[in-house]
Amino acid sequence: MTYRIETDSMGEIKVPAEHYWGAQTERSRQHFNIGTEKMPPEIIRAFAILKKAAAEANYQLGKLTANQREAIVGVCEEILAGKLKDEFPLSVWQTGSGTQTNMNVNEVISRRANELAGKERLHPNDHVNMSQSSNDTFPTAMHIAAVLAVSERLVPALAALIDIFYRLEEGHAGIWKSGRTHLQDATPLLFSQEISGWRVMLEKNKNMLVSSLNGLLELAIGGTAVGTGMNAPKGFADRAAAGISRQTGMSFTADNNKFHALTSKDALVFSHGALKALAANLMKIANDIRWLASGPRLGLGEITIPENEPGSSIMPGKVNPTQCEALTMIAVQVMANDVAVGMAASQGNFQLNVFMPVCIYNYLQSVRLLTDGINSFGRYCAGGIRANRRKMQENMERSLMNAAVLNPHIGYDKAAQVVKKAHAEDITLKAACIKLGYLNEEDYDKAVSAAYEEIMP
């Protein structure tokens, strides 16, 4: 490997000659060789959007020349096109303000722009970072990345799974089954009603997620080092936010109080709470499905799900609910990430939070895992759910909790006696009720029919 000598305020350092990054990036790369977690690509994309908008705003305010603006914008567009993806090597476990990633982007933009121009035109601090500080750009990039990840990837994935459940409801209309509460038999319901519960959970989660983005649409840009906006000309923040909005199609604005924007990560905590709520519901749905599909002979067996791969290295023919297992593991990870996001957000000291990289790393991992997990679950499991009508009918007929329909006719205590007799003698509820002399066969059938009509949708 060949090297070149770069300098910064700390002095000289050797940098790999084939890369565009500079001295500050290299110092971070050497000093923070920690773990395998690198700064997420969503953050680099967000920085490219931000640096492009900042260059436009600085040009409009007379701070950059047309050539300088054009050079910065051109490299930002290369980054957005994925042409420079190997130029951002830094670990998540770096300075808590994300300064080194901000400088990584600044250095790559300036060196690449100078290469294209064939001369030294741009300085990473003086031009690319003009009117900015890492303390306002990193939290701005965090919000941009979070909003785009949720709106562009997670919300569409969630909408697709909701649509799958809609189709399952329609395809399983009119099928009665036994309900269950406390893992015990309960009164009957339609299978389509059970599915509708799953669907509405996800619809509500989708609304929560979209609502949670409102706080993330407010950006720290313009606050510079401590929130006062030192070195940022008047109008820069609003112009930069407008430029970010034009590029993303989202309604970003500059936060009215930059002191809040730099030190508080409450909007990310709030939004990740919606991710955790989604994870909780996905855990419940996946568990319901694998319980209902348990078997094939010794479980509930009320539904079948797609068989995707062998389930055992020793038991021939075994097939497991693997998509449910993957989704529930994802749910656990997201819940754990919520703890990390909340704890990171609590560490704002004075004018700056210095746990920002780990905060956004966990947030984006949650979005990525949920998106991919939902897509996989919908394609390889949920879309192939089918009711085992015979088993559902058999279980419902054997359920003792259908005795609840007798309450209005013979009272709770007598209905309980019917259940105990039916269970003890292993006979039907009807037979037990007739044996006890509480209802004749005709009245029993009328009571059951009336109850079913009452709960029909």
Residue 139 lies in a domain: no
Residues 332 and 385 in one domain: yes
Q: Is the pLDDT of residue 457 over 90?
A: no
Burial class (CB in 10 A: 0-12, 13-18, 19+), 390: exposed
Active site residue 294: no
Please tell me the predicted confidence (pLDDT) of residue 48: 98
- pLDDT average, residue stretch 258-269: 98
Residue 442 has pLDDT above 90, yes or no: yes
SS3 (DSSP) at 401: helix
Is it the case that residue 456 has pLDDT exceeding 90?
A: no
User: In the numeric block, which tokens belong to residue 456?
Assistant: 């029909």
Per-residue pLDDT band at 415 (split at 50, 70, 90): very high
Query: 121 and 156: one domain?
Result: no
Please indicate, yes or no, if residue 406 is contained in any of the structural domains: yes
| Residue 222 domain-assigned (yes or no) | no
Q: Contact 24/103 with Cβ under 8 angstroms?
A: yes
Instruction: State percent of the chain over pLDDT 70.
Output: 100
Residue 229 maps to a domain: no
Ramachandran angles phi, psi of 347, nearest 5°: -100, 30
Whether residue 293 sits in one domain with residue 156: yes
Picking from 116, 138, 137, the residue whose alpha carbon sits closest to that of residue 55 is: 137
In-domain check, residue 96:
yes
| Same domain (yes/no): 377, 328 | yes
Active-site residue, 182 included: yes
Asked if residue 292 and residue 429 are part of one domain, the reply reads no
* Cβ partners under 8 Å of residue 4, min gap 6: 14, 15, 17
Residue 259 inside a domain? The answer is: no
Q: Are 116 and 19 in the same domain?
A: yes
Instruction: Report d(CA 141, CA 357) in Å as an integer.
Output: 11
Residue 66 belongs to a domain: yes
331 and 418: one domain? no
CATH (domain of 384): 1.20.200.10
Q: Residue 233: pLDDT above 90? A: yes
Is pLDDT at 288 greater than 90 in this prediction? yes
pLDDT at 416: 97
Instruction: State mean pLDDT over 268-295.
Output: 98
Confidence of residue 385 (pLDDT cuts 50, 70, 90): very high
Residues 199, 335 within the same domain: yes
Task: Find the domain containing 427 and state its range.
Answer: 399-455
Q: Say yes or no: 43 and 110 in one domain.
A: yes
**Predicted local confidence at residue 171, as pLDDT:** 97
Element (H, E) at 8: strand 3-8
**pLDDT number for residue 121:** 87
- Residue 305 is predicted with a pLDDT of 98
How far is Cα 371 from Cα 327, in angstroms, rounded to an integer? 10
In 3-state terms, the chain is what percent helix, strand and coil (to 5)? 65, 10, 30
Rounded CA-CA distance 64/316 in Å is 70
Q: Has residue 297 got a pLDDT over 90?
A: yes
* Domain of residue 37, CATH code: 1.10.275.10
Q: How many helices (H) and strands (E) does the chain have?
A: 17, 10
Half-sphere exposure of 154 (CA within 13 A, CB side): 30
Q: Judge if 342 and 201 occupy the same domain.
A: yes
Over 90: is that where the pLDDT of 239 sits?
yes
Report the distance separating Cα 307 and Cα 381, nearest Å. Answer: 8
**Same domain flag for 329 and 432:** no
Q: Tokens 């994309």: give the residue.
A: 45
Average the pLDDT over each of 70-84, 92-106, 110-124, 142-156 and give the range with the smallest value: 110-124
Query: Given the structure tokens 């290369």, which residue do they identify?
Result: 78
Q: Give the pLDDT of residue 152.
A: 98
Number of structural domains in the chain: 3
What does the pLDDT read at residue 120? 82
257 falls within a domain: no
Q: What is the pLDDT of residues 115-151, one digit of tens each?
A: 998 888 899 999 999 999 999 999 999 999 999 999 9
DSSP state of 91: B
Of 130, 165, 188, the domain-final residue: 130
Q: What is the mean pLDDT of residues 305-327?
A: 96
DSSP letters for 109-143: HHHHHHHHHTS----IIIIITTT--HHHHHHHHHH
Q: Looking at 389, 417, 437, which one is the last position of a domain?
A: 389
Distance CA 79, CA 57 (A): 19
Residue 255: helix, strand or coil by DSSP? coil
CA distance 185 to 362: 40
What's the CA gap between 175 and 194, in Å, rounded? 11
Alpha carbon distance 320, 311 (integer Å): 5
State both tokens at 391: 């088993």
Q: pLDDT tier at 437 (50, 70, 90 boundaries)? A: very high
| Residue 392, SS3 per DSSP | helix
Spatial distance between the Cα atoms of 92 and 340, rounded to a whole number of angstroms: 14
Per-residue pLDDT, 94: 98
Q: Are residues 60 and 201 in the same domain?
A: no
Domain boundary among 91, 106, 130: 130
User: What phi and psi, each to the nearest 5 degrees, are found at residue 307?
Assistant: -100, 110
Evaluated on CA atoms 49, 50, 56, 59, the torsion sign reads negative
- Cα–Cα distance for residue pair 217/215, rounded to 1 Å: 5
- The CATH number of residue 439's host domain is 1.10.40.30
Which residue among the candidates 211, 312, 346, 449 is catalytic per the annotation?
312
